[in-house]
């Protein structure tokens, strides 16, 4: 383990530098074609980043000291204070979990030792897919596969807002593996209020808008399933959509060589949205009896897909997991940190948020240890605050992409911020328990 130091910022080794093939940690798409120029400690995205990436990389570096009870302290003092809080807690809760693979490994280790609970800030959203996985399963595809193979995209979430380069990279790409002159693609927006502005370019053929509230997507997909099976449906609109439009969509699905239904779990943010995901996945299965079709779930922002993957391979269970008994116990509902806080079951919150400034800990009166990015917004001064480096800016790392298949390496952009790695802070913390 590297020695843990803070406030030891030295000047960067060189005054300026350009990094190529940089992976962006700011959404689940994990674009890795960015070029980033550094001048002193200032970063600038010079190629391929979206606005979200620019906002993430280019924010000015502040260099806070660790704090205990609002008072600046040394890193070892902050770690000792955090260890005391965690060590004395009845049920420490490890939340946020916006970190890289090594950070998540360290959280798993400390949660196991301190008999705590682990829960990512976006577990609820991710859980919509996991529920479907655990009840019926699915047929899925990944980004490169969709980019080259799909001729029909059914977009069932506001993809562009969550993943600003999805269309550019996966839908509007001019080159394709399987044809010198790849055919135009049909884009169907299923839902309302999406940013559809990116569905433009030479690859885009028909763009069809099917207007319905997101809560009613499931109804429409279920109607597609019914019609596909040849079961008659009562006459009339379905979820406010004219019947003819649904029949047209089904015909287009049947004609597709490789259709892909895309959704973003956090955007399907309404009660029982897992049933919508379920309908989509079952429709895809129905179609696959005769033809090829696949689902493509996005999301995975703030390290969500990394957290759930590491938790699953290390503990056996996806989030949310409690180690209170010394063994992993899985309950996607009971171990939700907001619930544990509300019911008074947890008496110490450890909040890990190392990518953006915005994934702040929930407002709570229980003692909170924040291990966070240098500029993390805090509504309230936590018991302990330990600023750490951002994986992919301040140190190397690895992150799992939204499709949970591909992982990308993260680079150290060498701005020498003097911010410690989360994994080193947590290792020291665990040793002090």
Applying the rule CB under 8 A, the residues between 246 and 265 that interact with other proteins are: 257-258
Nearer to ligand SF4, 67 or 411 (CB): 411
Closest distance of CB 236 from ligand SF4, Å = 40
Closest distance of CB 112 from other proteins, Å = 5
Q: Measured between alpha carbons, how far is residue 257 from residues 186, 252, 286, 291, 293 in Å? A: 12, 10, 15, 7, 8
Say how many Å lie between the first and final Cα of the chain, rounded.
17
Question: Which residue ranges make up the site for ligand SF4 (CB under 6 A)?
Answer: 24, 26-27, 29-31, 49-50, 52-53, 163-165
> Cα angle at 400 between 159 and 278, to 5 degrees?
50
Phi-psi region of 23 (alpha: psi -120 to 50; beta: other; left: phi over 0): beta
Asked if residue 123 binds other proteins (CB under 8 A), the reply is no
Closest distance of CB 176 from other proteins, Å = 7
How many residues bind other proteins (CB under 8 A)? The answer is 66
Q: Say whether 407 sits in a helix, a strand or coil.
A: strand
Decide: 143 and 406 in contact? Cβ < 8 Å: yes
Contact partner, 409, from other proteins, ligand SF4, none, Cβ < 5-8 Å per class: other proteins
Q: Give 71's contacts (C-beta < 8 A, 6+ positions apart).
A: none
Tell me which residue of 323, 353, 362, 320 sits closest to 422, measured CA to CA.
Answer: 353
x-or-dash string of contact with other proteins, 384-423, rule CB under 8 A: ------------x-x-x---xxxxxx--------------
Asked if residue 46 binds other proteins (CB under 8 A), the reply is no
Nearer to ligand SF4, 24 or 250 (CB): 24
Contact partner, 113, from other proteins, ligand SF4, none, Cβ < 5-8 Å per class: other proteins
Among 11, 51, 291, 431, binds other proteins (CB under 8 A): 291
Closest distance of CB 294 from other proteins, Å = 6
Asked if residue 292 binds other proteins (CB under 8 A), the reply is yes
- Where in 239-341 does DSSP place strands (E)? 258-263, 292-297, 321-322, 329-330
Closest distance of CB 23 from ligand SF4, Å = 8
Tell me which residue of 113, 95, 116 sits closest to 104, measured CA to CA.
Answer: 95
Element (H, E) at 284: helix 273-288
Q: Is the peptide bond before 231 cis (omega within 30 degrees of 0)?
A: no
Closest distance of CB 348 from other proteins, Å = 19
Contacts 24+ apart (CB under 8 A), 1-4: 1/424, 1/427, 2/421, 2/424, 3/424, 4/75, 4/76, 4/79, 4/420, 4/424, 4/425, 4/427, 4/428
Closest distance of CB 193 from other proteins, Å = 27
Contact partner, 50, from other proteins, ligand SF4, none, Cβ < 5-8 Å per class: ligand SF4
DSSP assignment of 118-129, as one string?
EEETTHHHHHHH
Among 38, 147, 163, 374, binds other proteins (CB under 8 A): 147
Nearer to ligand SF4, 122 or 293 (CB): 122
Nearer to ligand SF4, 171 or 227 (CB): 171
Nearer to ligand SF4, 142 or 345 (CB): 142
Contact partner, 27, from other proteins, ligand SF4, none, Cβ < 5-8 Å per class: ligand SF4
34 phi/psi in degrees, rounded to 5: -80, 150
371 CB-contact burial (10 Å; exposed 0-12 / middle 13-18 / buried 19+): buried
Closest distance of CB 405 from other proteins, Å = 5
CA distance 304 to 91: 23
280-297 burial code (b ≥16 CB/10 A, e <16): bbbbbbebeeeebbbbbb
Decide: 1 and 102 in contact? Cβ < 8 Å: no
Asked if residue 431 binds other proteins (CB under 8 A), the reply is no
x-or-dash string of contact with other proteins, 9-38, rule CB under 8 A: -----------xx-x--------xx-----
Q: Which residues bind other proteins (CB under 8 A)?
A: 1, 20-21, 23, 32-33, 101-102, 105, 109, 112-113, 130, 133-145, 147-149, 169-170, 175-178, 257-258, 288, 291-292, 294, 308-310, 312-318, 323, 326-330, 396, 398, 400, 404-409
């Amino acid at each position: 383990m590297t020695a843990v130091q803070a406030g030891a910022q030295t000047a960067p080794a060189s005054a300026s530098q350009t990094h190529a093939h940089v992976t962006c940690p700011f959404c689940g798409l994990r674009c890795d074609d960015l070029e980033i120029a550094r001048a002193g400690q200032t970063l600038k995205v010079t190629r391929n980043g979206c606005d979200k990436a620019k906002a993430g990389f280019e924010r000015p570096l502040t260099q806070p000291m660790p704090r205990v009870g609002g008072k600046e302290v040394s890193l070892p003092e902050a770690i000792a204070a955090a260890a005391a809080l965690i060590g004395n807690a009845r049920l420490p809760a490890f939340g946020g979990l916006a970190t890289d693979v090594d950070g998540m490994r360290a959280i798993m280790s400390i949660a196991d030792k301190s008999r705590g609970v682990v829960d990512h800030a976006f577990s609820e959203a991710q859980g919509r897919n996991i529920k479907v996985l655990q009840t019926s399963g699915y047929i899925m595809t990944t980004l490169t596969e969709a980019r080259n193979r799909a001729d029909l995209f059914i977009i069932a979430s506001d993809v562009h807002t969550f993943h600003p380069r999805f269309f550019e990279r996966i839908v509007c790409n001019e080159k394709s593996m399987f044809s010198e002159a790849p055919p135009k693609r049909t884009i169907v927006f299923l839902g309302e209020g999406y940013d559809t502005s990116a569905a433009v370019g030479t690859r885009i053929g028909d763009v069809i808008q099917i207007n319905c509230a997101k809560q009613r997507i499931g109804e429409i997909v279920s109607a597609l399933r019914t019609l596909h099976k040849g079961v008659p449906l009562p006459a009339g609109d379905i979820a406010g959509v004219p019947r003819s439009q649904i029949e047209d969509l089904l015909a287009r699905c049947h004609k597709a060589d490789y259709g892909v239904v895309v959704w973003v779990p956090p955007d399907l943010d309404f009660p029982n949205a897992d049933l919508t995901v379920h309908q989509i996945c079952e429709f895809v299965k129905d179609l696959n009896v005769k033809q090829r079709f696949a689902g493509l779930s996005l999301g995975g922002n703030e390290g969500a897909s990394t957290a759930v993957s590491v938790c699953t391979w290390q503990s056996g269970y996806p989030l949310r997991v409690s180690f209170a008994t010394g063994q992993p116990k899985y309950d996607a509902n009971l171990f939700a940190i907001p619930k544990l806080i509300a019911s008074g079951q947890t008496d110490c919150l450890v909040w890990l948020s190392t990518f953006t400034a915005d994934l702040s800990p929930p407002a709570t009166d229980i003692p909170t240890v924040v291990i966070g990015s240098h500029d993390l917004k805090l509504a309230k001064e936590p018991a302990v605050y330990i600023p750490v480096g951002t994986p992919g800016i301040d140190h190397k790392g690895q992150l799992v992409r939204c499709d949970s298949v591909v992982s990308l390496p993260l680079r150290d952009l060498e701005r020498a911020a003097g911010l410690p790695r989360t994994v080193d802070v947590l290792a020291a913390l665990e040793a002090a328990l």
